[in-house]
């Protein structure tokens, strides 16, 4: 009797998949739930498990593109391969009986939780617990990425974990991510130790070298591809020797290359790409990059965005910082940077021109009497915009302490969703990367964003004399649907006045 295995439905919008790699060969004996091959769709990579034990008969080859529901292979359930299975399985049966005695029969379905009002989908970044692992209630089992932050997913029950989604999959809020076979208590330790002690006598080789040995997870494979490292050069520390995301991140290309050079010097003479070669490579966009791209295009298409420019003489601020920076740091324990001056100047100007601090909600305009300033910070996973709450009420040292706190959490990937939502106005500083002038894109649903740039010594005419001054271009991008030209220009001029005479900030004039 043969078991026909077809391509399963993997998503409502996916109609076909491509066979990426066969882990088993035609004619191999396979066990129930053993992974046979890896399938790739336009959204994610996932594994195909055996639906029965027996002899594998492959019907489609690597690289073939087949439709959902098409036959991919068959398993001959009757044969020598199956008959041999009971002898190998007999040693594990007692252990299974001992552990399954505590199974309640309840299945806990875990779905992607709501992580923020503006977040509709997330990406499964990393499984911390492998499929089939025993997990405890509230134990962290996976890491999930949104376009704003990374957060951990805790187990909602105690039992055996069963993966539904794979690493790299993009899931909607409420989508199924895994299941837990609920158990009353922990598995019997003696059963697992007995199985481990008896395994070497009968099947030590298969336990050390299975289909997962040396195989990279989808997330790990992507990282290795970006580094140009072959999976055969990396030792896996995951279950059954599987290469995990952490293994891929820790892998270094230099060491394997040196080892190869020492062991096989003859290969050094092999043809290598020469200068001027026209090689190219293609990589799929990450789910996070797709989300960011979609939202940036939406802002350009859905807002009437314009940008107005001005220039600021930074000498007064620089002189003030030079005079008081040591005393400031000694008293408050934090440095006096440019961001506090810009934040305070923006807060004053926002209260004078409230339309710049407003947003459109349907057919209404929402005006904010407070200033929640979003600060763009460069983090390992990209640009993030944590929010300084009620910045108008903070002193200079209060702003600086918040900037340091949020920037530190951003670089450690520890920002929460709440810390990155709800801003009313954004400040971005491209000057730290050397930008002289740019047109920043509005951070929707906000209506304006201020762009800072690098400070350059330039000759300027001052009272009929030419002086060399440290100048900065500032740019205000704004939504013309809610902010008129008079308001936008007046706002930027007011910011310029406050920065060129920072004592105005102290007296509120």
Of 33, 230, 412, 484, which residue is the catalytic one?
484
* CA pair distance 394, 180, nearest whole angstrom: 47
Q: Which positions ≥6 away from 395 have C-beta within 8 Å?
A: none
Of 209, 319, 412, 480, which residue is the catalytic one?
480
The kind and range of the H/E element at 491 are: helix 485-500
Whole-angstrom Cα Rg for the chain: 30
Active site residue 480: yes
How is the chain split among helix, strand and coil, in percent rounded to 5? Answer: 35, 30, 35
Distances (CA, A) of 223 to 117, 145, 239: 31, 16, 19
> Comparing C-alpha atoms, which of 30, 40, 6 is closest to residue 81?
30
> Comparing C-alpha atoms, which of 72, 93, 54, 58 is closest to residue 16?
72
- For residue 267, the SS3 value is helix
Q: Which positions ≥6 away from 71 have C-beta within 8 Å?
A: 4, 5, 6, 59, 60
> Comparing C-alpha atoms, which of 293, 448, 432, 495 is closest to residue 440?
448
Half-sphere exposure of 246 (CA within 13 A, CB side): 9
Whether the CB-CB separation of 339 and 358 falls below 8 Å is answered with: no
Angle between helices 485-500 and 338-352 (to 10 degrees): 140
* CA pair distance 393, 151, nearest whole angstrom: 30
Sheet order of strands, 29-30 included: 2-6, 71-76, 54-58, 29-30
Residue with tokens 């996916």: 14
- For residue 208, the SS3 value is helix
Half-sphere exposure of 243 (CA within 13 A, CB side): 23
Other beta carbons within 10 angstroms of residue 152's beta carbon come to 11
Task: Take residue 307 and report the two structure tokens written for it.
Answer: 């940008």
DSSP H stretches of helix in 15-58: none
Task: Take residue 138 and report the two structure tokens written for it.
Answer: 């509230």
- For residue 87, the SS3 value is helix
Report which DSSP code applies to 278: -
DSSP H stretches of helix in 303-395: 315-332, 338-352
Task: Kindly list the catalytic residues.
Answer: 480, 484
């Amino acid at each position: 009797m043969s078991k026909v295995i077809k391509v399963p439905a993997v998503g409502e919008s996916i109609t076909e998949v491509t066979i990426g790699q066969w882990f088993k060969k035609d004619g191999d004996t396979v066990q129930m739930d053993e992974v046979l091959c890896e399938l790739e769709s336009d959204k994610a990579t996932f594994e195909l498990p055996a639906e029965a034990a027996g002899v594998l008969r492959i019907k489609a080859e690597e690289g073939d593109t087949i439709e959902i529901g098409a036959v991919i292979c068959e398993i001959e359930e009757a044969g020598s391969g199956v008959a041999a299975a009971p002898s190998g399985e007999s040693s594990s049966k007692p252990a299974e009986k001992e552990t399954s005695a505590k199974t309640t029969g309840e299945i806990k379905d875990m779905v992607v939780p709501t992580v923020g009002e503006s977040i509709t989908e997330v990406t499964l970044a990393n499984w911390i617990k492998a499929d089939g692992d025993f997990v405890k209630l509230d134990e962290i089992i996976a890491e999930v990425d949104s376009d704003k932050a990374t957060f951990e997913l805790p187990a909602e029950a105690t039992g055996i974990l069963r993966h539904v989604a794979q690493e790299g999959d993009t899931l909607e809020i409420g989508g199924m991510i895994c299941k837990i076979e609920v158990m009353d208590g922990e598995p019997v330790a003696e059963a697992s130790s007995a199985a481990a002690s008896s395994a070497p006598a009968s099947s030590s080789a298969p336990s050390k070298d299975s289909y997962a040995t040396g195989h990279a997870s989808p997330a790990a494979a992507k990282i290795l591809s970006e580094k140009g490292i072959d999976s055969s050069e990396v030792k896996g520390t995951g279950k059954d020797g599987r290469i995990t995301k952490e293994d891929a991140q820790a892998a270094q290309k230099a060491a394997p290359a040196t080892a190869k050079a020492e062991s096989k010097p003859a290969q050094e003479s092999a043809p290598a790409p020469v200068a001027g070669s026209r090689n190219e490579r293609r990589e799929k966009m990450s789910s996070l990059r797709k989300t960011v791209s979609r939202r940036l295009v939406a802002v350009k298409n859905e807002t009437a965005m314009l940008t107005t420019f001005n220039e600021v003489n930074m000498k007064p601020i620089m002189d003030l910082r030079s005079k008081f920076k040591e005393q400031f740091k000694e008293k408050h324990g934090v440095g006096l940077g440019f961001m506090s001056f810009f934040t305070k100047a923006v807060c004053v100007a926002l209260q004078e021109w409230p339309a710049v601090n407003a947003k459109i909600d349907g057919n209404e305009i929402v005006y904010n009497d407070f200033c929640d300033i979003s600060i763009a910070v460069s983090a390992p996973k990209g640009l993030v915009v944590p929010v300084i709450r009620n910045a108008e009420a903070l002193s200079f040292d209060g702003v600086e302490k918040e900037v340091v706190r949020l920037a530190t959490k951003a670089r450690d990937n520890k920002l929460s969703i709440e810390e990155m939502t709800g801003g009313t106005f954004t400040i971005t500083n491209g000057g730290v990367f050397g930008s002289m002038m740019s047109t920043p894109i509005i951070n929707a649903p906000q209506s304006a964003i201020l762009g800072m740039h690098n400070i350059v010594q330039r000759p300027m005419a001052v009272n009929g004399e030419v002086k060399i001054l440290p100048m900065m271009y500032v740019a205000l991008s704004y939504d013309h649907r809610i902010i008129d030209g008079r308001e936008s220009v007046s706002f930027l001029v007011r910011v310029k006045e406050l920065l060129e005479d920072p004592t105005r900030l102290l007296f509120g004039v």
